[in-house]
Amino acid sequence: MGPLSGLKVLDLSRVLAGPWATQILADLGAEVVKVERPGAGDDTRSWGPPFIKGADGTQGDAAYYLAANRNKKSLAIDIADPRGAALVRRLAESADVVVENFKAGGLARYGLDYAGLAAVKPDIVYCSITGFGQDGPNAERPGYDFVIQAMAGLMSLTGAAGGQPTKAGVAIADITTGLYATIAILAAIRHRDTTGEGQHIDMALFDTTLGWMANQAMNYLVSGKVPRPMGNAHPNIVPYQDFPTATRRIAVAVGNNGQFRAFAKALGRPEWGTDERYASSSARVANRDALVGEIEAELLREPAEHWLAAFDAVGVPAGPVNDLAQAFAEEQTKARGLVIEQPHPLAGTVRTMAQPMRFSKTPPDYANAPPQLGADSTDVLRAAGVSDAEIEVLIGAGVVETNARA
């Protein structure tokens, strides 16, 4: 029994930000019903390669879809059909949470917006996720992670110094918005449990991405100076970047003066610890180029393994610059159980990432792999009181789709 056992979530979202939030809720025990379009389903089911495959070579869902839809039930239903929309409203009557990422106001035509569902379930917690929010001059614009990374300033900080603006290697605007949405939903549930009041949560990718600019945002707000990309260097700390060694690159993060003295000693340059150019953090920032050049010269003398062992021995944070294959091969990855294997009706088994949250009493549950489209349509509708005869009519009319193989 997860900590959110008993919580019912109606997931009308697709692609990543919304599904990421609802997967977290599902892994923590909530019952999540994913509402999808018949025929195609969530866009990311086709965002491959790679795709999973059955033993007979049958192509299944894309890996992208598998990343964000574990532990959910799939209901394939056409909400553009009044009968489909009516069934979703019926499901909302027994739900605690609704998550959607349609364009602002896009669900009103079906009576599935906050006002429409609050009319049948006044204490509903309804979370809308859009690119730019429910108001403002950009409210009607579609929001895609890449565009948001550009507009919110993230790309201007990412990449090599003097180089072109660069996006992050994953859809970080979507992911972080999903995380903030999860926090907001749980806060709203707490409020509902205390007061009996539901509410509408308005989450925007732009707001979230600009909001987590953190020290870079404050650097600008305090100084008025626009931060520029610095590659892997840090604007406020030196040395805090990756360096070449005789074999491979390593990352070094020296966070205070004591660590710097230990770092200098491990390099065989203890005099740096008292050198007025390098002894203090502000001095190291002022003399960044000279210090980085000297560090690189020392590190190139020995292989990465030598330096990582030396830094570890004196408590200096450092690690190898891994690709994903190397990251998954790390003993720490294995010890923490960060990859799980689940049964899958098409592929036999599928590996997915575990939640990074560790609970001493109520751990996440990984009972169900990401569902095939319509895998649970019949069961979900039966649980809502829809008769088998009515379900057959809806299937015949194309309003509902079910996956018999699942």
Q: Enumerate residues 6+ apart whose C-beta is below 8 A from 98.
A: 9, 10, 12, 92, 117, 124, 125, 126, 127
* Angle at which helices 82-92 and 388-396 cross, to 10°: 140
| Residue 146 DSSP SS3 | helix
85 three-class SS: helix
Catalytic annotation present for 123? no
The conformation of residue 91, written as its DSSP 8-state character, comes to H
Phi, psi torsion values for 105, nearest 5 degrees: 80, 0
What would the DSSP string read from start to end of 194-235? Answer: HH---EEEEEEHHHHHHHTTHHHHHHHHHH-PPP---TT--S
Strands 250-253 and 318-320: antiparallel
Cα–Cα distance, 127 to 302 (Å, whole number): 53
Other Cβ atoms closer than 10 A to 125: 27
List, in order, residues 6 or more apart from 392 with CB less than 8 Å away.
none
Dist. CA 172–CA 184, nearest whole Å: 18
Closest to 145 in 3D by CA, of 265, 294, 20? 20
Given a contact cutoff of 8 angstroms between Cβ atoms, the answer to whether 52 and 10 are in contact is no
Q: Which two tokens stand for residue 20?
A: 């990421």
What are the Cα distances from residue 272, in Å, to 168, 234, 254, 278?
35, 20, 14, 6
Q: Which entry of 27, 174, 202, 207 is annotated as an active-site residue?
A: 174
Q: How far apart are CA 206 and CA 183, in angstroms?
A: 17
Q: Give the active site residues.
A: 174
